[in-house]
Structure 1
């Protein structure tokens, strides 16, 4: 069973709205404050990447229930320029924006499951899941 809530990412305020949505869903599912912070940090990174690199996209939150396990999946979708070298952007310290380069590798560390699919000229689809312990 998946119930999806989405926020369109068009400006910086949408990043805040996506964070709030994620925190609310995490709280409803019973995640503790530490995992809520991990989830909202991951959402911030993914939504900011959409805003900075694609210009617009969507960030969706799925409530998961698989084999009696509850969880939350973040889905970040855009139709931006795509990522030409996924291995490179997954390296710690790599940054094209002059930031710390903690973005996608950081999201991968904060979440339990992480998958990225990107095609240059077509956009990017990132899915990150956190399971309730």
Structure 2
């Protein structure tokens, strides 16, 4: 059991006792310094921001695409965009981040970044 206010628990506004097994993959990050997580998230999400540092459609598209288990049709429906617009955005994301969604290591990096982005949303990106 864990009993502390870790970034994981803070981000979910929870405190108290939790069974270690119940927190799933997040247990890999309990002892990870927040600075390391923030650097990793910045590495992925900052290149997707506009020139003015604002969040834009690319970040929203990436998060939705991963949340929809890389289903293009579901993502396009959720974002209310044409499927070709989605494909254009995905290609731009791959170019901006210098990766490929078809590469297993790149795909894992993106999935992890999106998971951490939602789990540790209180970190400034």
Q: Which has the higher strand share?
A: 1
TM-score normalised by the chain length of structure 2: 0.31
Greater share of helix: 2
Structure whose CA Rg is larger: 2
